[in-house]
Amino acid sequence: MLKFKCQIPKQKMFCCLLFGLCHLFIICVLSFVILMSGCAMIKEGAKGFAGVSTKVIEQSRKDAITKTFNYDYNTCYNKVKRILKERGSYIYAEDLKKQLLAIYVSEQDTTPVGLFFKKIDANNTQIEVSSPSTYAKEFIATRVSSALEKLLNPEEDKPQTE
């Protein structure tokens, strides 16, 4: 039986060891950064990639158009949802915890608009319409407001007879 004796020069051994330790350190640092950034950042990035992120409309909420309607929360939420669908808006996200409906203005116009609902009391609900686009925000706010007001006052649509 043959026995081979292999000797690695100390310089090369030191270089190999240093190379391995550097890579191990980099892997540890990257793992730590990923773990500390949390799932929220990864989750929001995935939502953004999929086109369903609500982050931009949540950030635009400070400039939202706000109006209160004489409907209880559930009725208001369901009526607004129906109005938006009937008028061609595309609902891409619903978040009950954030009390949010996230829509695109239409299937062709993918400008994001958020509708935030807030229960004021048993018979009143506030809606905040936010969007990074002033036009989209005003367009959807007007659309929803006029439709809800027509439902509250159906006599206003009837022609006056003399």
Q: What is the CATH number of the domain that holds 134?
A: 3.30.310.80
Mean pLDDT over the full length of the chain: 80
Q: Supply the range of the domain harboring residue 30.
A: 10-50
Whether pLDDT at 6 is above 90: no
Residue 121 has pLDDT above 70, yes or no: yes
Q: Is residue 104 part of a domain?
A: yes
If one counts the domains in the chain, the total is: 2
Question: Is residue 78 situated within a structural domain?
Answer: yes
Q: In this model, does residue 79 exceed pLDDT 90?
A: yes
Q: Is the domain of 78 the same as that of 143?
A: yes
Q: What phi and psi values does residue 125 have, to the nearest 5 degrees? A: -130, 135
3-state secondary structure of 98: coil
Range from 57-61, 102-106, 155-159 carrying the lowest mean pLDDT: 155-159
Give the end-to-end CA distance of the chain in Å, rounded to a whole number. Answer: 120
Per-residue confidence (pLDDT) for residue 128, from 0 to 100 = 96
CA distance 147 to 70: 13
Q: Which of 56-70, 71-85, 145-159 has the lowest mean pLDDT?
A: 145-159
How far apart are the C-alpha atoms of 105 and 87, rounded to whole Å?
9
**Residues 76 and 130 grouped into a single domain:** yes
Instruction: Report yes or no: 90 and 106 within 8 Å, Cβ to Cβ.
Output: yes
Residues 64 and 138 in one domain: yes
pLDDT band at 34 (very low <50, low <70, confident <90, very high): low
Same-domain check for residues 125 and 97: yes
Q: Is the residue at 4 inside a domain?
A: no
Residue reference for tokens 């060891």: 17
Question: In the chain, what percentage of residues exceed pLDDT 70?
Answer: 68
How many beta carbons lie within 10 A of that of residue 114, not counting itself? 26
Query: Do residues 80 and 131 both lie within one domain?
Result: yes
Residue at 42 is within a domain: yes
Same domain? For 70 and 40 the reply is no
42 and 65 fall within a common domain? no
As separate numbers, helices (DSSP H) first and strands (DSSP E) second, the chain gives: 4, 5
Residues 37-71 have pLDDT tens digits of 555 444 444 444 444 568 899 999 999 999 999 99
Residue 5 falls inside a structural domain = no
* Domain assignment present for 65: yes
Residue 127 pLDDT > 80: yes
Same domain for 79 and 60:
yes
Do 45 and 65 lie in a common domain? no
- Say whether pTM exceeds 0.75: no
| 2 domain residue, yes or no | no
